[in-house]
Amino acid sequence: MTAAEPAVRPGKTLSKTPNIATRSGWRPWLAFGTGVAVEISRTSLEIAAVRLRPNGAELLRAATIEHIHERPAAEWSAQYQDAVRGIHSAGVTVVLPRADVIMRQVSLPGVSPRELEGALALRLRALHPFADDDVAWCWAPVRGGALVGLTRLATLSRYEALFAEAGIPVASFSFSATILHSALRIYGEPAIPVLAIARGADDLVGNSSEIYGENAAGTVFSSEFTGAPERAAAAAIAQLRLPQETEPVRASDLLPIREASRAAVDRPLLFAAALVAGAPLLARPANFLPPERRAGQSLLWLIPTAVLVLLLILAILGAFAIGPYRDRRTLETLHEQIKAAEPGAFRAAALDKRIAQERDQIQLLDQFRGRSQADFEILNELTRIVQPPAWTSSVEIYPDYVILAGEAEQAASLLKILDSSPYFQDSQFTSSVTRSVSKNEVFRIKTMRRHK
């Protein structure tokens, strides 16, 4: 087993290479576009152009430009233009060297997406060893927090000036962890856990490997190791707390690559960067460039999506247009049946209305008759219990109470007499008791009726 070609057996612990054609959900149907990516190595640029379709992605072109730092930018930029000639992309994504980037995963449970950037800015000083005015940083949301990339501002400025001098429009400067995290999710959620070799010793300077991994808890791991890939994998397994028998796979085995292009993909990280460059609606990796310095993106990649959206709208309109004729015929039939049943319905409604009116009249008569009988009983009871020399000058009978006024030798005794009656309760004076000319007490009493 060599460092350039690690002997791995995909599928022993991790899931097998995903079949893009069987992915479910709506995301594959938005995978239309073309992306161009550039990976910076120590002395060269690696270029890849990728075309995305719902059934997978294919490698259109790959090229290497050597000795970019020793040659004038105008000279090797011509090589770049030849490599991407005729390819219309949504912008060039540049992958910075792993040694130039510090990757941190910050856990921010309970922080809303719109507040993530502010929360990260407050914690930024603790994430890097640089001076506050000498750091460039970017972030992308992950489960439970954010994936943060940090680099020296001078490093970013140097690369930005290099590509500007070469006339290469850069839409994004990014780093390996966020590139792979986004690329694995373009067509749907990947099988977890993930443990992959992102770059082998043939991609880097010296005997080094870059390992990328994810576990079920949402932890993202990315690091560059010196030495054999087995040692790098063992360190990643320990960091991610994966089973010891877990074996790393090639990152290209996890990417949605068509079988016709799989053998040609020898730099999976570069291919992943081209994937996310071609699918800006589905992948939003972290970007060191502020929006005002990002190259304008071509709108040609939107044409296939616009065509699909138009077809979808036409299909929906067609589905809605099929029903109106049937609905109209059904309504006409219902109207005919309603018209035939209307005379009988009108007669039934008139009879119901007349019955209701007569029922109300009967109830009203019953109420009047019952009230008159009850009022006579009240008068009889008052005649019985108010004995001379007490007498009443007026009796007012209401549904719930009775008010009587008059004179008596002892008005207070009338309250007890009224309350002892089965017809009255809670008797009380409504005004002060006074003396008349005949020395009798003048009273006005309100007594509540007992309802039987």
Query: SS3 of 24, please?
Result: coil
d(CA 235, CA 60): 35
d(CA 226, CA 208): 4
Residue partners of 222: CB distance under 8 A and separation at least 6: 98, 103, 176, 177, 180, 198, 210, 211, 212, 213
d(CA 221, CA 195): 9
Burial class (CB in 10 A: 0-12, 13-18, 19+), 375: middle
Q: Are 168 and 74 in contact (CB under 8 A)?
A: no
d(CA 242, CA 246): 7
Cα-Cα-Cα-Cα torsion 163, 169, 172, 177, nearest 10 degrees, comes to -60
d(CA 452, CA 284): 81
Which residues, in sequence order, are bridge partners of residue 34? 51
Residue partners of 174: CB distance under 8 A and separation at least 6: 93, 94, 95, 96, 138, 149, 273, 276, 285, 286, 287, 288
Displacement of CA 336 from its chain's centroid (Å): 48
d(CA 344, CA 337): 12
Q: What is the pLDDT along the chain (452 residues), one digit of tens a residue?
A: 333 333 333 333 333 444 333 455 778 888 888 999 999 988 889 999 999 998 899 999 999 999 888 888 888 999 999 999 989 876 799 999 998 999 999 999 888 888 999 999 999 989 988 887 789 999 999 998 999 999 999 999 999 999 999 999 999 999 999 999 999 999 988 999 999 998 864 444 446 788 999 999 999 999 888 877 778 888 899 999 999 989 899 999 999 999 988 888 989 999 999 999 998 888 989 999 998 888 865 455 556 667 778 888 888 877 777 778 778 888 888 888 888 888 888 888 888 888 988 888 888 777 666 667 788 888 888 888 888 888 898 999 888 899 999 999 888 888 898 999 998 999 999 988 888 888 888 999 999 988 76
Cα distance between the two ends of the chain: 105
**CATH class name, domain 386-449:** alpha beta
> Which strand (E) or helix (H) includes residue 204?
none
Beta-carbon neighbour count of residue 64 at 10 Å? 13
Query: Hey, do 20-298 and 386-449 end up sharing a CATH topology, with the first three levels equal?
Result: no
What pTM value is reported for the model?
0.63
> Quick one: which of 261, 286, 319 has its CA closest to 120?
286
Q: Are 91 and 297 in contact (CB under 8 A)?
A: yes
Which residues, in sequence order, are bridge partners of residue 403? 396, 446
Displacement of CA 415 from its chain's centroid (Å): 74
Which residue do the tokens 């309970």 mark? 110
Architecture category of domain 20-298 in CATH: 2-Layer Sandwich (3.30)
The domain ranges of the chain are: 20-298, 301-380, 386-449
